[in-house]
Structure 1
Amino acid sequence: MKQMRPEITIRDELAADIGAIHDVTAAAFETMAFSSHTEQYIVAGLRTAEALTLSLVAECDGRVVGHIAFSPVTISDGSQGWYGLGPVSVLPGYQRQGIGKALVKEGLVRLERMGARGCCLVGHPDYYRKFGFRHVPELVYEGAPPEYFFVFPFGDQLPQGNVTFHEAFLADQPSGDSV
């Protein structure tokens, strides 16, 4: 029996979604061995620092079931307009139904419309290559093995240097956001 895909709406987060985003993010990473289980605090830290450039939710039947965050990154050569993707979260019961994929695709479209030069992330190689993310020797992120660091340029110009994600990615506890 083929599983039916739920009807999903991708939209900007609203203030009323903050608690649901926290819960979705915590639940999505709860059983993942590679996770430090701080992803919900990263999102809260980005929001508190006003560094959450783009925050989208996936909604199904009026319920937030997924979330994706984009925030500015710093590149040592001074290049501007580059963003980090992450975390991306989908409730466990809704995973493997294309919701994460829809969030990533919509987020990249919106970033490009905003005039972004590119996007980078630390993630699973098999998953993110499907979207066109790739390794480039010109950009380095020292916080993870190189095979997990990917970039998606929105043009031919590639910066050169070290990438630094927002300090909220170092979160290990709540940042003061109420949930």
Structure 2
Amino acid sequence: MTGQEILIRDERKDDAVLITEVTIAAFAPLEISNHTEQFIIEALRSAGALTLSLVAEVNSRVVGHIAFSPVAISDGTKNWYGLGPVSVLPLYQRRGIGKALIQEGLSQLKGLGAKGCCLVGHPEYYKKFGFKNVAGLALEGVPDEVFFALSFDSHYPQGDVTFHEGFRANSSSNVKL
């Protein structure tokens, strides 16, 4: 970004409303979205399941957010996490903010002893970070071509992945899990 420094930092308590606003704005134009991402983040936060919740600031304004939460894998593999949602205000997209959030988040996950990370996302985008489709690792109801994993220790689990129950949150959900 020309002349504008991106600051990536941990979420603070007073960021919750801003994160909701950023998330709603980022996903509003996306037809592939169910527009529940803000409810998912709140449900994860309420359940204490946000392992990492990072915001991106430009000129002291929160313009992006990324969440990481634990996942369960049917083969018993531990210390794997789900990435998402990740959002950047539309006016700030295509400026490297999402990339900075993802890179910093993955770096911090590794520092926490994580073994890997998985996500549902756009094939061309996430491959740039080393994510790949892994035969034998699946998320029920999600096409293989949009489900990705990245191992930090070169071991890929085999089985079904289950994201935290917060991912089922919607506007009518009771997010106080």
Structure 1 length as normaliser, TM-score?
A: 0.94
Superposed CA deviations along residues 2-44 of structure 1, whole A, max 9, x for unmatched, are: x726211000000010100010001000010100011000000
Aligned residue identity for 2:30: M
Aligned residue identity for 1:103: L
Contact 1:48 1:175 in 2 (8 A): no
Deviation at 1:156, TM superposition (A): 1.9
Q: Structure 2 residue aligned with 1:38, among 31, 36, 39? A: 36
DSSP-derived class of the 2:8 partner: strand
Mapped to 2, the partners of 1:121 and 1:175 lie a distance apart of 24
Mapped to 2, the partners of 1:175 and 1:126 lie a distance apart of 35
Q: Structure 1 residue aligned with 2:141, among 143, 153, 165? A: 143
Residue number in structure 2 paired with 1:172: 170
DSSP-derived class of the 1:64 partner: strand
Superposed CA deviations along residues 46-102 of structure 1, whole A, max 9, x for unmatched, are: 000100000000011111000000000000011110000000000010000000000
DSSP-derived class of the 1:22 partner: helix
* CA root-mean-square deviation: 1.3
1:71-86 alignment runs, 5 A limit: 71-86=69-84
- Per mean C-alpha deviation after superposition, the further-off stretch among 26-35 and 5-14 is 5-14
Deviation at 1:138, TM superposition (A): 2.5
Residue number in structure 2 paired with 1:66: 64
Deviation at 1:175, TM superposition (A): 4.2
Give the unaligned 5+ runs of structure 2. Answer: none
1:1-179 alignment runs, 5 A limit: 4=2, 6-173=4-171, 175-176=174-175
DSSP-derived class of the 2:2 partner: coil
Contact 1:41 1:175 in 2 (8 A): no
Greater than 3 Å deviation, 4+ residue runs: 174-177
Q: Summarize the Cα distance change of 1:139–1:176 in structure 2 as closer, same or farther, 3 Å threshold.
A: closer
Aligned residue identity for 1:71: S
Alignment length, in residue pairs? 175
Mapped to 2, the partners of 1:176 and 1:152 lie a distance apart of 29
Give the unaligned 5+ runs of structure 1. Answer: none
Aligned residue identity for 1:53: T
Percentage of identical aligned residues: 60
